[in-house]
Chain A
Amino acid sequence: DMKVTQMPRYLIKRMGENVLLECGQDMSHETMYWYRQDPGLGLQLIYISYDVDSNSEGDIPKGYRVSRKKREHFSLILDSAKTNQTSVYFCASSWQYEQYFGPGTRLTVL
């Protein structure tokens, strides 16, 4: 059963704290993504990873960084979180054109 997992599902942080969002997939997909979703804006691409240590900026990378040391794991890091980074974050992996999404992490930065 193809699956993308995300941890944690809910997170509350204070402004200036560091945040680590984790994503895993069991499909051995090479390509993985991090998106954020805000009301009325759809899904915005933060970073795309083509394989281990092969990452590229998406449309809104400022304030974020990523790490991919194993094909099945892709992490999103917020160094010194800001209140405008409050959002729902989705990880996805893809096989050719089709993207498989995780259940999301709802992050609140106070």
Chain B
Amino acid sequence: QQQVRQSPQSLTVWEGETAILNCSYEDSTFNYFPWYQQFPGEGPALLISISSVSDKKEDGRFTIFFNKREKKLSLHITDSQPGDSATYFCAARGASGSWQLIFGSGTQLTVMP
């Protein structure tokens, strides 16, 4: 049972376009949602995160939009650059007190020059 789902599995955009990566979850107790960026041969690294009390979080070209009612969130990458080509993981943390994160299966983004 996959508690965090991501779509699409892979996405290709042209340089300068906006890439939209989607994430949905099932457990209404999840209250913290980080996005991790992973380049080939490296470990994931925290890119941006949002808590369930906010509906938007912006950091430069990266923005998270959060819809608590629909249990959905999305990562928008504006003015996409070839250097943004990576795999992006959405994750969620429950409110139970555990530090465990539940990861989605990832979206592989390719930005064509």
List the interface of chain A (C-beta within 8 A of B).
4, 31, 40-45, 48, 58, 90, 92, 94, 96-104
B52 nearest CB across to chain A (Å)? 12
Interface residue tally for chain B (C-beta within 8 Å): 20
Provide the bound-state CA to CA distance between A83 and B112, in Å. Answer: 37
The 5 A-B residue pairs with the shortest CB-CB distance, nearest first, are A101-B43, A42-B105, A43-B103, A42-B103, A101-B44
For chain B residues 49-98, which have a beta carbon within 8 Å of chain A?
Answer: 49, 89, 93
Contact across chains for A97 and B89 when beta carbons are under 8 A apart: no
**New contact pairs (8) apart from A45-B100, A101-B43, A104-B41, CB-CB < 8 Å:** A31-B99, A40-B9, A43-B44, A48-B99, A90-B43, A92-B43, A98-B46, A99-B101
Which among B36, B43, B46 is the interface contact of A104 at CB below 8 angstroms?
Answer: B43
Contact across chains for B100 and A48 when beta carbons are under 8 A apart: yes
Contact across chains for A41 and B100 when beta carbons are under 8 A apart: no
